[in-house]
Chain A
Amino acid sequence: MPLKKSLILLTMTLLALAQGCNEQSTQTSPSSEVTPAVASRNSAAVDDKPAYGDMLINGSIGDASVLLPVLASDSSSGEINGLIYNGLVKYDKDINLVGELAEKWDVSEDKLKIRFFLKKGVKWHDGKPFTAKDVEYTYKIYVDPKTPTAYSTDFLKVTEFKVLDDYTVEAVYDKPYAPALGSWGQGMLPSHLLEGEDITKSPLKRHPIGTGPYKFKDWVTGEKITVDSFHDYFEGRPYIDRVMTRIIPDLATMFLELKALSIDQMGLTPLQYVRQTNTKWFKDNFNKYKYLGFGYSYLGYNLQDWKFKDKRVRQALTMAIDRESIVQGVLLGLGAVTDSPYKPDTYWYDQNVKKFPYDPEKAKQMLAEAGWKETNDEGVLLKDGKPFEFTIITNHGNDIRKNAAIIIQRDLKKVGIKVHIRVIEWAAFLKNFINKRNFEACLLGWGIGIDPSQIDIWNSKKTGESELNFINYQNPEVDRLLDLGASTYDRQERKKYYDKFQEIIAEDQPYTFLFVQYALPIINSRFHGIEPAPVGIGYNFTKWYVPKRLQKYTIQP
């Protein structure tokens, strides 16, 4: 009897599998409206002027979670949202704030009021006009305590929000707040579709409507997200007709797809950049770009752990780690050692920040000063009879972090510190370890925002569960400097506060700052108009184009 049952079960699963396969194959086969154009590369009429048409297929490691910028905090969603939505302001290629949906703005003399004058004639993807009502709705939804958003901090500083007329709004602050202007770069939401609705249940989470250069077409969960160019876009119709983001959760597989020309763009790993893409074929078919990414990796110490309470110990740890060899060995030189929470080639980075170069002998000496003198028979340092032994945790799926941890483990062994490594799947990593402060040291990375305010990460009060100061760093002077920095508009004066802040952080070494990686995008060479700038390459995406003779796909909407 049990045998029979299990047989039935088995056939049912097989059937289900077969159906699954069928579905998949129809989805992956090129849809009828997209057909590769007949190659006409050698046609006589050589005309490389900008032309409309073609499709760019992007490879992405992870699927988006939600296509509403107020709710999304993952980078996969962020990239798609960037095509669909606009903010009032944006950063241009040289990292200066310029208007996007705002024509211009006035900041009052006392820096307490910002008045935005909105562009006229901007349309939502459904044809309705964009007005001050939408800005008001967006502001309200961000500050609504019921909205589960990670970005309310900036908007909560607004004490009063006024709609002056259909195209003028004013935000009032009770004290000057320097990041305020940049914070209005958040994606504006359509009030006519969302007003009065529960945003967490809105259908726009999966079928977004924005004002951006691309309008949503479809989203097959775990497989691909397609957006089409918005012909009425207020900055002009984008040249590339369609952008498809294919979700390929494995970088090696994604690279094979790139080689098969079935995707046009991906971010390379250092190994792929150095060892696998230097052939003539690659040079003929792809362009590679390289710029310092907006983010850094660090080893953070849980300062509530008795071993890490002494700053001499933390400085010694930094000196014991050969960071240059991590950059050479793991990043293959495609990165830079960093000593500060700011990007080394930007204005806010303090060139004079104290550096702790690799010096294991000095590190040993400093550990001895801090009381770590004796060793046990394994050669591990002891203090009060307890060995210097700790676990570094990092997230699964990031080989660069894992390999950096292995090098750190080796380096610290040389000075008598025993390190264990634990690699944990991301969701569990955040939930059970980081948010619960259940770790000794963690190897992680932060994205570096363009505005230098880093209150969320370093303020003494941001240590609650799920808040970002999870290493429990507390320094009243840092709190004061960060508050001063946030309320100062003058760039030079502001920089003084942040320079001082960087000096204190360097002295305290709550993190061992490890490295900044290069972003290594590779893009099919039929795409023209890409101009690398300090901010990266994506800023002028709507001006990228494929000359008529090189176009690969024909899009019939």
Chain B
Amino acid sequence: MFLNEDFVRRIGKNKMAMAGLCMVAFLFCVALFENELAPYPPDRIDTSNILAPPTYQHLLGTDVLGRDVLSRIIHGAGVSLSVGFVAVGISTLLGVMLGALSGYYGGALDKAVMRFVDVMLCFPSFFLILAVIAFIGPSIWNIMIVIGITSWMGVARLVRAEFLSIRERDYVQAAISQGASDARIIFLHILPNAMAPILVAATLGIASAVLIESGLSFLGIGVQPPDPSWGNMLTEGKDNIEIAWWLSLFPGMAILITVMGYNMLGEGIRDSLDPRLRR
């Protein structure tokens, strides 16, 4: 298993990973305690106080309907994180399944799966997602699913590569010679030893899923009003950027912190696992 003491010790020393972890943990806390942290309900409209700059009452100002920007950013965290996790969950599941089959059995199946991966990679994924969403209609669930089923290819390739190499190890060969079933070999012998790169890919995948969700919402086909989403907030901010900078700056920073946090964590984990970087 990769989650041994050595790994924990090394990742503890990796400053980048720790900084990323802190950001991610912070976001989790925010999303978990959104109702306690947000000073106002996110959909509380106050038409007598629209586009108010940051003050004590509204720490990050208010938007075009007088809603508190801070509260909306806090509630948007939950939306972003759930999109990230569910989408990556789907893509990892798909990727691991197809990659494992392909790498373990090889032959014609392997060829077929890998050509399918090539085909999928040919589409620019953002435009593929746009087209699919335009067809099935925007909703937070559709977005999660569509992001999930358009981003599994990287994981599939990784898993296949791991399987190809681990399959030839002595302990796997021993299991095969003892007549262990394929399922047992895949799930008990190979998969646990291929977890490390999957974890890294998943962490980085969350970052890109959050970005795609923001992008879709920015274009108006993501999360629908009145649910707050950072991308939605940015769209509103863009139209009023000259008179209300706080509408664009703060949601933008929220996206930045999230994406950076996951990327740093992912890269940190990768570095700590890489034997070549061992000192």
Question: Roughly how many angstroms separate A405 CA and B241 CA in the complex, as a whole number?
Answer: 23
Most chain B beta-carbon contacts within 10 A, residue among A6, A275, A332, A403: A403
Q: Is the CB of B226 within 8 A of A421?
A: yes
List the 5 shortest-distance A-B pairs measured between CB atoms, nearest first: A329-B47, A252-B239, A406-B226, A325-B47, A275-B243
Chain A residues with CB under 8 Å of B112's CB are none
Chain B interface residue count, CB cutoff 8 Å, equals: 24
Per-residue A-contact encoding for B120-163, CB less than 8 Å = 1, 0 else: 00100000000000100100000000000000000000000000
Residue of B nearest to A325 (CB): B47
Question: Roughly how many angstroms separate A410 CA and B226 CA in the complex, as a whole number?
Answer: 10
Q: Is the CB of A2 within 8 A of B226?
A: no
- Nearest Cβ on chain B to A251's Cβ, whole angstroms: 7
Interface presence of B97 (CB below 8 A): no
Q: Is the CB of B64 within 8 A of A407?
A: no
Interface presence of A465 (CB below 8 A): no
Known: A406-B225, A421-B225. A271 touches B64 (CB 8 A): yes
- Nearest Cβ on chain A to B271's Cβ, whole angstroms: 27
Interface presence of A402 (CB below 8 A): yes
Q: Is the CB of B240 within 8 A of A271?
A: yes
Q: Is the CB of B238 within 8 A of A409?
A: no
Chain A residues with CB under 8 Å of B240's CB are 252, 271
- Nearest Cβ on chain B to A277's Cβ, whole angstroms: 11
Chain A residues with CB under 8 Å of B241's CB are 252
Residue of B nearest to A405 (CB): B225
Question: Roughly how many angstroms separate A271 CA and B226 CA in the complex, as a whole number?
Answer: 20
Question: Roughly how many angstroms separate A410 CA and B51 CA in the complex, as a whole number?
Answer: 19
Chain A residues with CB under 8 Å of B43's CB are 406, 410
Near A by CB (< 8 A), chain B positions 17-50 give: 43, 45, 47-48, 50
Interface presence of B192 (CB below 8 A): no
Please report whether the interface of chain A is mostly helix, strand, loop or mixed according to DSSP.
helix
Q: Is the CB of B45 within 8 A of A406?
A: yes
- Nearest Cβ on chain B to A403's Cβ, whole angstroms: 6
Near B by CB (< 8 A), chain A positions 135-162 give: none
Q: Is the CB of A423 within 8 A of B224?
A: yes
Q: Is the CB of B242 within 8 A of A276?
A: yes
Chain B residues with CB under 8 Å of A329's CB are 45, 47-48, 50, 65-66
Interface presence of B118 (CB below 8 A): yes
Interface presence of B12 (CB below 8 A): no
Residue of A nearest to B240 (CB): A271
Return 22 A-B CB contacts under 8 Å, by A number: A250-B239, A252-B238, A252-B240, A328-B48, A329-B45, A329-B47, A329-B66, A330-B65, A332-B50, A399-B239, A403-B64, A403-B65, A406-B43, A406-B65, A406-B226, A407-B65, A409-B226, A420-B224, A422-B137, A423-B220, A423-B224, A425-B134
Q: Is the CB of A423 within 8 A of B64?
A: no
Chain A residues with CB under 8 Å of B64's CB are 271, 399, 403
Residue of A nearest to B122 (CB): A6
Chain A interface residue count, CB cutoff 8 Å, equals: 28
Per-residue B-contact encoding for A324-341, CB less than 8 Å = 1, 0 else: 010011101000000000
Interface presence of A396 (CB below 8 A): yes
Near A by CB (< 8 A), chain B positions 217-236 give: 220, 224-226, 236
Question: Roughly how many angstroms separate A202 CA and B237 CA in the complex, as a whole number?
Answer: 44
- Nearest Cβ on chain B to A490's Cβ, whole angstroms: 44
Residue of A nearest to B63 (CB): A403
Near B by CB (< 8 A), chain A positions 335-385 give: none
Residue of B nearest to A332 (CB): B50
Q: Is the CB of A422 within 8 A of B224?
A: yes
Beyond the given pairs A330-B47, A399-B64, 12 more chain A to chain B contacts, judged by CB atoms under 8 angstroms and listed by A's residue number, are A2-B118, A6-B122, A275-B243, A276-B242, A328-B48, A329-B48, A329-B66, A332-B50, A399-B236, A410-B45, A422-B224, A425-B134
- Nearest Cβ on chain B to A67's Cβ, whole angstroms: 29
Question: Roughly how many angstroms separate A408 CA and B236 CA in the complex, as a whole number?
Answer: 19
Q: Is the CB of A251 within 8 A of B45?
A: no
Question: Roughly how many angstroms separate A221 CA and B214 CA in the complex, as a whole number?
Answer: 31
Q: Is the CB of A271 within 8 A of B224?
A: no
Residue of A nearest to B235 (CB): A399
Chain B residues with CB under 8 Å of A328's CB are 47-48
Chain A residues with CB under 8 Å of B225's CB are 402, 405-406, 421, 423
Chain B residues with CB under 8 Å of A420's CB are 224
Question: Roughly how many angstroms separate A425 CA and B133 CA in the complex, as a whole number?
Answer: 12
Residue of B nearest to A252 (CB): B239
Residue of A nearest to B243 (CB): A275
Chain B residues with CB under 8 Å of A425's CB are 134
Near B by CB (< 8 A), chain A positions 262-301 give: 271, 275-276
- Nearest Cβ on chain A to B4's Cβ, whole angstroms: 37
Residue of A nearest to B64 (CB): A403
Most chain A beta-carbon contacts within 10 A, residue among B51, B134, B226: B226
Q: Is the CB of B45 within 8 A of A275?
A: no
Question: Roughly how many angstroms separate A275 CA and B51 CA in the complex, as a whole number?
Answer: 10
- Nearest Cβ on chain B to A225's Cβ, whole angstroms: 25
Question: Roughly how many angstroms separate A284 CA and B239 CA in the complex, as a whole number?
Answer: 24
Near B by CB (< 8 A), chain A positions 8-55 give: none
Per-residue A-contact encoding for B87-130, CB less than 8 Å = 1, 0 else: 00000000000000000000000000000001000100000000
Question: Roughly how many angstroms separate A405 CA and B226 CA in the complex, as a whole number?
Answer: 9
Residue of B50, B238, B243 touching A276 (CB-CB under 8 A):
B243
Chain B residues with CB under 8 Å of A410's CB are 43, 45
Per-residue A-contact encoding for B241-257, CB less than 8 Å = 1, 0 else: 11100000000000000
Chain B residues with CB under 8 Å of A402's CB are 225
Question: Roughly how many angstroms separate A428 CA and B221 CA in the complex, as a whole number?
Answer: 13
Question: Roughly how many angstroms separate A109 CA and B157 CA in the complex, as a whole number?
Answer: 86
Per-residue B-contact encoding for A99-116, CB less than 8 Å = 1, 0 else: 000000000000000000
Per-residue B-contact encoding for A407-425, CB less than 8 Å = 1, 0 else: 1011000000000111101
Chain A residues with CB under 8 Å of B236's CB are 399
Chain A residues with CB under 8 Å of B47's CB are 325, 328-330, 407
Per-residue A-contact encoding for B63-86, CB less than 8 Å = 1, 0 else: 011100000000000000000000
Per-residue B-contact encoding for A386-407, CB less than 8 Å = 1, 0 else: 0000000000100100110111
- Nearest Cβ on chain B to A120's Cβ, whole angstroms: 52
- Nearest Cβ on chain B to A194's Cβ, whole angstroms: 38
Chain A residues with CB under 8 Å of B65's CB are 329-330, 403, 406-407
Question: Roughly how many angstroms separate A420 CA and B43 CA in the complex, as a whole number?
Answer: 13
Question: Roughly how many angstroms separate A422 CA and B66 CA in the complex, as a whole number?
Answer: 21
Q: Is the CB of B45 within 8 A of A407?
A: yes
